[in-house]
Amino acid sequence: MKFSRICSAIWLLIALILLPIAAHAEIGTAVDVDPFARVGSATLVSGARLSAGDVIQTSGQGQAQILFDDNTRIVVGPNSRFVISDIQMGSSNSANRFAVDAVRGSFRFISGRSPKNAFRISTPHATIGVRGTIFDLNVAGQTQLASLRGIVEMCGSSACVTLRARCSVAIAERGGSVRTPTSVSEAGQIIRSGFPYIEDQRPRLLPAFRSPVRSCARYEVPRRGIGQNEEGGRFETERDDPEEPDEDRGDEGDDEDDGGDDDGGDDDYFDY
- Does residue 21 carry a pLDDT above 50? no
Label residue 38 by pLDDT band (50, 70, 90). very high
At residue 231, the pLDDT reads: 35
- Does residue 16 carry a pLDDT above 80? no
At residue 18, the pLDDT reads: 41
Share of the chain above pLDDT 70, in %: 72
Element housing 128 (H / E):
strand 127-139
At residue 1, the pLDDT reads: 55
Label residue 260 by pLDDT band (50, 70, 90). very low
At residue 219, the pLDDT reads: 84
pLDDT in tens, 45-101: 999 999 999 999 999 999 999 999 999 999 999 999 999 999 999 988 899 999 999
Compute the distance between CA of residue 24 and CA of residue 9 in angstroms, rounded to an integer: 24
- Does residue 37 carry a pLDDT above 50? yes
C-alpha distance across the termini of the chain, in Å: 75
At residue 47, the pLDDT reads: 96
Pure H helices in 80-237: 184-194, 196-199
What is the rounded average pLDDT for all residues in the chain?
79
Compute the distance between CA of residue 24 and CA of residue 204 in angstroms, rounded to an integer: 30
Taking alpha carbons only, the member of 209, 254, 230 closest to residue 29 is 209
E strand spans, 156-220 = 160-163, 168-172, 178-179
Q: Count CA atoms closer than 13 A to 141's CA, side-chain side.
A: 0
At residue 203, the pLDDT reads: 84
More confident residue, 172 or 131: 172
Taking alpha carbons only, the member of 252, 149, 147, 251 closest to residue 190 is 147
- Does residue 9 carry a pLDDT above 80? no
Label residue 253 by pLDDT band (50, 70, 90). very low
Compute the distance between CA of residue 80 and CA of residue 179 in angstroms, rounded to an integer: 24
At residue 36, the pLDDT reads: 86
- Does residue 254 carry a pLDDT above 50? no
220 Rama sector, left if φ>0, alpha if ψ -120 to 50, beta otherwise = left
Label residue 224 by pLDDT band (50, 70, 90). very low
At residue 162, the pLDDT reads: 96
Label residue 161 by pLDDT band (50, 70, 90). very high
More confident residue, 3 or 158: 158
What global pTM score does this model have?
0.76
